[in-house]
A and B are shown apart, each in its own frame.
With several copies, the nearest count.
Chain A
Amino acid sequence: MADLETFRAEAGAWLNANCPPEMRVPFDGEDAITWGGRNWVFRSEAEKVWLERMAAKGWTVPEWPREYGGASLSRDEAKVLREEMGKRKCRSPVESFGIWMLGPALLKYGSHEQKLEHLPKIARGEIRWCQGYSEPGAGSDLASLQTKAEDKGDHYLVNGQKIWTSYADKADWIFCLVRTNKDAPKHEGISFLLFDMASAGVTTAPITLISGASPFCQTFFSDVKVPKGNLVGQLDKGWDIAKYLLTHERDMIGGGSGGMFASRPLGQIAAQYAGQDGGVLEDGMLRAKIAQLELDAWAFSLAVDRGRDLAKAGQGLGAYSSVLKYYGAEVNKRALELVMDSMGSDALEWEGKRSKEGKTARDWLRTKANSIEGGTNEVQLNIIAKRILALPGA
């Protein structure tokens, strides 16, 4: 503990000295995040300097080993670092699918050479990754994917199509599930492949969502040549890596932060727009729904805590992430429905300054994806029925 406090003091002093003041302002939206990558345009010198300094220190990925661009911090040290950054409102220097997803997968399944090649670039924000999982005919049923990689001696030849590829149009490399054995049972012929999005034969097309945003793409592969050294793990065993990453993704979407919920307490929003009378909301029906939602959201946050504590105590259930993913999505969707109910016609404006270009409505529509992305609610319930309740045929 003494060591931890020493580390805390040192980290604090370093942050004081090195974090530019412009980087000590909270993000005002997804647009302000530093994603990095070959084509990244820093919006300020401070943004660039901050990333460079943190990367040099290994603190963009503090728990990764030093040789791969991290700082080899212990879990407790990393927590202290987050706390000290939080106190100073330091922005995250870089966020990416490389840090969240590919990194952990490579650390677990990659070869030493693969780690050396890819992890430091992720840590320095030099390469931006995207994830090639879903396909048009394989949404919830991911394992029925059809994109194939044929062994051509010195390379694989990849053909097929992905969908829901987040920011594929802005990414440099992709980690991709491909079918390498079409005769094996559907879970057993899948491999995990890395390749450059600048390769010949790769094209992308953005998808416009109902919220008006286009964070996702369709991605097409036509005779894309991929060096054989870019296979992660064993041939035909990519499903294990995919499952590992899916659990990871569920934790991020469902639990963890406790979801996005509303930006301020629902009761306050409703009081402002729909009126109070004697300390209670005038609209009794809305009040009851808000109170029920707030109770459920609070109870859910305790279940998230408990899930984390169970895991720490070695009593965790693998499928607990499905429990949190399912319920978190529902709570989030209900919360934004109630924000809309509370704000009435003001929330129905889609453009213009007053509504911040329809921010509330767009947030509301965004939540509808919560119960679809990272495995639909139906899939989560199936997982609970099968793995926890051991129901027949589930």
Chain B
Amino acid sequence: MPLVLTDEQEMMRDSARGFLAEHAPIAHFRKIRDSRDPLCFSRDLWKTMAEMGFAGVLVPEAFGGVGLGYVEAGIILEEAGRTLTPSPMLSTALVAVTVLARFASEAQKTALLPGIAKGERIVALAVDEGAKHKPEGIALSAKRAGNGFRLDGRKGFVLDGAAADTLIVAARTAGAPGEISGITLFLVDAKAKGVTAEQTIMVDNRNAARFTFEGVEVDGGAVIGEVDGGWAALEAGLNAGRAGAAAELVGAGGEVFERTVAYVRERKQFGKLIGEFQGLQHRLAHLYTEMEIARATSLKALQMLDEKPDAAGPYVALAKAKTGEIARLASQEGVQMHGGMGMTDDLDFGIFMKKIRVTQEIFGDANFHTDRIARLRGY
């Protein structure tokens, strides 16, 4: 597969860009943020995005979706990264749909996917229990009880957790924290007895929550796939989320970069346009180079998820690591080259910096993924 977008994909990008520019520019994000909306996104906007086919981009047509691939999902997220559009796209349309469409039973799919595609149902994955991403470290226990299971434990940094109707909870049914076997995925109603959510207001105003599970009872039908064998589904969901986050980082980093280039072409200091100073020119040329390289990793990871999902892991790790570091560099250079103005909330650079900081942390930061690749390579 050539590392370029097809004509159809280019059209989709143009259409997504047009839609988001009209319906969800950064002013929309500011409005949500400044109104202290507890949802942290607009349900109306999300329904309109669903009508555009965004919510159901990965949902098979049989379940009411448009049945496209990860490259298309990445295109939407890249554009949403440019406009900082708040939505449950990453949690629901990528992570949850991946887990459900590939690993859930027909009954589970029928129950959940159509609602997701319509933008009516929010589904969040509850995986991490510590401050750093460590999916094999799951300790939240699920013990057999009657026909079902009983869940006890805690989860944190659950994206869109405070808005979720349904949770996919990664629990330990066997083994010990640190082992990848013995993990089972459960569908849990966010309003079920024993589930307590505490919304956490994040740096980038992202919807997230911590959860406590105390004697939460679910029946056997809540299990996704096999008991003790949830790791593959979990990794698939996480990889979808990581590749989606990488695309979002390419979008946000690219937007910051382009705005910064435009700024140095206009801003004068010492009687010169600051873009004339070779010190800045070389840093921007370096950043452009890194951005292009990051972009290649992101597109490759998305293509791999479409073509060879089981071999995609290392490519996704590469993309998440590289886009996170480079978007971070872009946001830092953006603030620095704007000087004091870059430090103000009036300009958008601080908002991009915050969004990029959170997005790079989601489902493993650059250190996590770099370490992972080193281990895969045996050193």
Contact = CB atoms under 8 A, between A and B. Distances in A.
Interface stretch (B72-80, B104-112, B215-223, B332-340): B332-340
Contact of A391 (B284, B299, B358): B284
8 contacts: A139-B269, A285-B367, A291-B370, A309-B4, A350-B201, A365-B350, A372-B340, A372-B343
A365 B353 CA distance: 9
Interface in A305-346: 305-306, 309-310, 312-313, 315, 320, 323, 326-327, 333, 337, 340-341, 343-346
Contact of B366 (A211, A285, A373, A385): A285
A341 B365 contact: yes
Interface in B336-379: 336, 339-346, 349-351, 353-354, 357-358, 361, 365-368, 370-371, 373-375, 377-379
B271 interface: yes
B128 interface: yes
- Chain B: interface residue count, which band? 35 or more
B281 interface: yes
Contacts of B101: none
A344 B131 contact: yes
B336 A287 contact: no
A309 B280 CA distance: 30
A108 to B, nearest CB: 26
B3 A305 contact: yes
B296 interface: yes
Nearest to A304: B296
A276 interface: yes
Nearest to B7: A313
A378 B279 contact: yes
A302 B297 contact: yes
Given A210-B351, A305-B296, A333-B332, 8 more contacts: A211-B350, A285-B366, A302-B297, A303-B296, A327-B293, A343-B131, A344-B365, A392-B273
Contacts of A198: none
B1 to A, nearest CB: 9
A221 to B, nearest CB: 19
B318 interface: yes
Most chain-A CB neighbours within 10 Å: which of B3, B290, B299? B3
A78 interface: no
A146 interface: no
A1 to B, nearest CB: 17
Nearest to B282: A381
Contact of B2 (A279, A313, A320, A372): A313
Contacts of A299: 293-294, 296-297, 318, 322
A2 interface: no
B31 interface: no
A207 B339 CA distance: 14
Contact of B379 (A276, A376, A378, A391): A276
A295 B379 contact: no
B371 A265 contact: no
A310 B5 CA distance: 9
B285 interface: yes
Interface in A341-394: 341, 343-352, 358, 361, 365, 368-369, 371-373, 376-378, 380-382, 384-385, 388-394
A208 B341 CA distance: 10
A291 B344 CA distance: 32
**Dominant SS among interface residues on chain A:** helix
A207 B344 contact: yes
B275 interface: yes
A270 B130 contact: no
B88 to A, nearest CB: 18
B370 A292 contact: yes
**Dominant SS among interface residues on chain B:** helix
A307 to B, nearest CB: 8
Given A385-B285, A392-B276, A376 B261 contact: no
B156 interface: yes
Contacts of A373: 340
Contact of B133 (A137, A320, A344): A344
Interface string A23-39: 00000000000000000
B15 interface: no
Interface string B198-222: 0011111100100000000000000
Nearest 5 A/B pairs, CB to CB: A210-B350, A267-B379, A344-B131, A345-B157, A285-B367
Contacts, number: 256
A372 B333 CA distance: 12
A256 to B, nearest CB: 16
A312 B1 CA distance: 13
B374 A287 contact: yes
Contact of A163 (B3, B133, B261, B340): B340
A365 B349 CA distance: 11
Given A350-B203, A381-B286, A384-B285, A313 B4 contact: yes
Nearest to B1: A309
Interface in B7-45: none
B361 A345 contact: yes
B63 interface: no
Contacts of A302: 3, 293, 296-297, 300
A382 B281 contact: yes
B379 A361 contact: no
B343 A295 contact: no
Contacts of A287: 374, 379
A388 B288 contact: yes
Contact of B269 (A140, A216, A296, A361): A140
A394 B203 CA distance: 38
B281 A280 contact: no
B279 A348 contact: no
B132 interface: yes
Contacts of B205: 350
Most chain-B CB neighbours within 10 Å: which of A144, A349, A358, A371? A349
B288 A306 contact: no
Interface in B54-102: none
Contacts of B132: 273-275, 283, 344-345
A281 B374 CA distance: 10
Contacts of B128: 345
Contacts of A393: 272-273, 275-276
Given A267-B374, A267-B378, A291-B374, A273 B367 contact: no
B193 interface: no
B264 interface: yes
A284 B349 CA distance: 31
A93 to B, nearest CB: 31
Given A309-B2, A385-B281, A295 B202 contact: no
B318 A209 contact: no
Nearest to A357: B201
Given A210-B353, A285-B366, A273 B279 contact: no
B374 A280 contact: yes
A286 interface: yes
